[in-house]
Amino acid sequence: MKYHIVTYGCQMNLHESEKIAGILKTVGYTDPAPLEEADIIVFNTCCIRENAENHAFGNIGALKKLKREKRGLLIAVGGCMVQEAGKAEALRKKFPFIDIFFGTHNLAELGSLIEKKRAQKKYVLSLLEERKETEDGVVPVRTSYPNAWVNITYGCNNFCSYCIVPYVRGRERSRLPEDILREVEALAKEGYKEITLLGQNVDSYKSGDWDFPRLLDAVARIEGDFRVRFMTSHPKDFSEALVAVMKAHKKICKHLHLPVQSGNNRILSLMNRRYTREKYLEDLALLRREIPDCEVTTDLIVAFPTETEEEFEDTISLVEEADFSSAFTFIFSPRTGTRAAAMEGRISDEVAKDRITRLVACVNEKTRQKSAKYVGKTVVILCEDFDEKKQLYMGRDEYGRMGYFPSDRDRIGEFVSITITEANGISLYGRAE
């Protein structure tokens, strides 16, 4: 039997979909297939912003006809949106054809939920409030070669006032270092060329005497021809120890994704981020003193409740000062149950759109300037894929830039030196040496 998984949201969800594929295999769904040919369709949802939810609602709704026409087709919906208070019920009412609902804490149970559904007519719903153990027993079907995702922490305790993640992913828990190291060793032996350590907040990794710098150091000491990335880091946990480990190992990419969210201290405090603009810039200065060519990317939110024009401009000026190589930019989206959703002073859609447009223009200009400097230089990229549209191979350099190049043989999984002939946004074009 065949399966199709639709994934929304962050890298955590991408990796969880690999675990879902692993579970599906154990209950008879062995091959991935296009939507129309699948015997089971699984939606792995996200609820970080309203548009993520709208997307999922739209695409689940569109399956009504297929479900009616194809006997035996199962539809399962899981992930963060299902875990959100009241959402499973809302989905069930709106789409009575969904067969299985599962939350974020019981992914490992999916196989038995499918078996239960096969034996009964009624839908199956399983949501847990919290769980302590992790999905370590699940063998993922990895789809992102030459990269492999490795979870180090689950959940989040930070409660940034705008964010729903702590509510749908539960309290933070760290995997045992020996389990993580064993997994990375096996992946390196299997030939994976990039290991990405994953957590909502990797820096708060804690297991006995192990903290994140120690874990990162141990991962980078594992033998093999691979590089190491990690995400996401929280500025409040930035440490000299982390910089020292990054500096000590060639294997660790010189790229830090450090979401700042806003350049204004009053807004940062309302967001409950627990650092200031000045502290953030000091940390970047330290990082660049130690690793001068390290690139930094970030996440930014505009139109947080009560944000004034001047406060927004602080975010614009920070993009300049912090010298980000790129940034993900978002309009504040109120999430039910979070503190910010209950705050007064909502910013109008019109103002929010104006701010995001200006911010995107500023970020793009910065990215363009930085990329232009690469023309004529040689960069080493890890070839990840073949871009069908462009008819070019592509990959990323250790700084996180995308590089495209032509080749008449398959280069996926190879480290390739390319000489850059053209830059366009964050993408570089060149020829392989």
Cβ proximity to ligand F3S: between 82 and 242 the closer is 82
Cβ proximity to ligand SAH: between 126 and 153 the closer is 153
Name all contacts of 276-279 with Cβ < 8 Å and 24+ positions apart.
277/314, 277/318, 279/235
- From the list 175-183, 270-278, 332-340, 413-421, the region that binds ligand SAH by CB under 6 A is 332-340
Q: Is the Cα dihedral 258, 174, 83, 114 positive or negative?
A: positive
- From the list 39-47, 135-143, 158-166, 310-318, the region that binds ligand SAH by CB under 6 A is 158-166
Task: Confirm or reject binding of residue 158 to ligand SF4 (CB under 6 A).
Answer: yes
Q: Distances from the Cα of 358 to the Cαs of 194, 239, 346, 376, in angstroms? A: 35, 32, 19, 30
In whole angstroms, the minimum distance from the beta carbon of 323 to ligand F3S comes to 26
- From the list 140-148, 156-164, 179-187, 346-354, the region that binds ligand SF4 by CB under 6 A is 156-164
Cβ proximity to ligand F3S: between 55 and 274 the closer is 55
13 binds, among ligand F3S, ligand SAH, ligand SF4, none (CB under 5 to 8 A by kind): ligand F3S
Cβ proximity to ligand SF4: between 15 and 251 the closer is 15
Query: Residue 288 and residue 143: Cα distance in Å, rounded?
Result: 34
Cβ proximity to ligand SF4: between 114 and 160 the closer is 160
Cβ proximity to ligand SAH: between 299 and 313 the closer is 299
Task: Confirm or reject binding of residue 160 to ligand SF4 (CB under 6 A).
Answer: yes
Both tokens of residue 313? 């401009």
Interacting residue with ligand SAH among 49, 175, 255, 411 (CB under 6 A):
49
80 binds, among ligand SAH, ligand F3S, ligand SF4, none (CB under 5 to 8 A by kind): ligand F3S
DSSP annotation of 219: H
Using the structure block, give the residue that is written with the tokens 């609902």. 101
Q: Distances from the Cα of 279 to the Cαs of 149, 263, 327, in angstroms? A: 30, 11, 19
Cβ proximity to ligand F3S: between 83 and 367 the closer is 83
Task: Confirm or reject binding of residue 200 to ligand SF4 (CB under 6 A).
Answer: yes
Query: Residue 70 and residue 195: Cα distance in Å, rounded?
Result: 40
**Half-sphere exposure of 221 toward its Cβ, with a 13 Å CA cutoff?**
9
Interacting residue with ligand SAH among 82, 152, 301, 394 (CB under 6 A):
301
Residue 313 one-letter amino acid: E
- List, in sequence order, every residue forming a beta bridge with 326; answer none if it has no partner: 297
Tell me if 198 sits within 8 A of 11, measured CB to CB. yes
198 binds, among ligand SF4, ligand SAH, ligand F3S, none (CB under 5 to 8 A by kind): none
Q: Distances from the Cα of 287 to the Cαs of 121, 230, 268, 318, 393, in angstroms? A: 58, 16, 21, 17, 32
Task: Confirm or reject binding of residue 163 to ligand SF4 (CB under 6 A).
Answer: yes
264 binds, among ligand F3S, ligand SAH, ligand SF4, none (CB under 5 to 8 A by kind): none
Query: Residue 100 and residue 110: Cα distance in Å, rounded?
Result: 9
Interface with ligand F3S (CB under 6 A)? 9-10, 12-13, 46-48, 80, 165, 168-169
Residue 162 one-letter amino acid: Y
Helix (H), strand (E), coil (C) string for 131-189: CCCCCCCCCCCCCCCCEEEEECEECCCCCCCCCCHHHHHCCCEECCHHHHHHHHHHHHH
Task: Confirm or reject binding of residue 297 to ligand SAH (CB under 6 A).
Answer: no
In whole angstroms, the minimum distance from the beta carbon of 237 to ligand SF4 comes to 10
User: Helices (H) and strands (E) in the chain — how many of each?
Assistant: 14, 21
Residues that bind ligand SF4 (CB under 6 A): 156, 158-160, 163, 165-166, 200-201, 234
Residues that bind ligand SAH (CB under 6 A): 48-49, 162-163, 165, 200-201, 232, 234, 259, 261, 299, 301, 330, 332-333, 335
